[in-house]
Amino acid sequence: MKIETDIELILNEQVRHEFESAYAYLGLCSALNALNFDGFAHWMRKQYREELEHADRLIDYIQSRQGVVQLQDFKVKNFTLKCPCEAFKMAYDLEVSNTKNIHRAYELAVKKHDYPTQVCLQWFITEQVEEEEQCSHYMGLTHRIATDGNLQAMMELDRIAGER
């Protein structure tokens, strides 16, 4: 059954959100690299690739329902950071806002009785819980370490993040 126009539209918006997230993570990767925190930069780079996969997953889904993928513009942000804790705060806020977007799309799919789209979005709902948890973990630790002014601990955490 062909996808309905308003579902197609909200999924296309979600494709844009995934690319926006990807670019934000790439920007954070670059900013952390500039601070010589290569491990955190690597962590962000992995997130960047995951967001691209999310966009791909939605694109495949839209097309499998005979929908049309319409690429949308977005504003690219570059970041200058003083501390890795700022990067993880931004990443966490980004994930929370993306969770809200996915929930909105899911609500529309429920309203429209579009069961396949609900199933597709359930994967994203589960994924968001994991992503928020990961960001929150690093946000909490980097914030505490920064508050203590413990560079050694920050470097150790950076090393751990680099093993991801």
Residues that bind Fe ion (CB under 5 A): 18, 51, 54, 131
Nearer to Fe ion, 18 or 158 (CB): 18
Give the separation between CA 45 and CA 36, rounded to whole angstroms: 14
41 and 29 Cβ atoms separated by less than 8 Å: yes
Nearer to Fe ion, 18 or 114 (CB): 18
84 and 35 Cβ atoms separated by less than 8 Å: yes
Provide the minimum distance between the beta carbon of 44 and Fe ion in the complex, in angstroms, as a whole number. Answer: 11
C-alpha distances (whole Å) from 36 to each of 19, 30, 57, 91, 163 are: 25, 10, 33, 18, 16
Which residue in the shown chain puts its C-beta closest to Fe ion? 54
Provide the minimum distance between the beta carbon of 144 and Fe ion in the complex, in angstroms, as a whole number. Answer: 23
Provide the minimum distance between the beta carbon of 135 and Fe ion in the complex, in angstroms, as a whole number. Answer: 8
Nearer to Fe ion, 98 or 142 (CB): 98
Provide the minimum distance between the beta carbon of 26 and Fe ion in the complex, in angstroms, as a whole number. Answer: 13
Nearer to Fe ion, 14 or 142 (CB): 14
Cβ neighbours of residue 96 closer than 8 Å, sequence gap 6 or more: 132
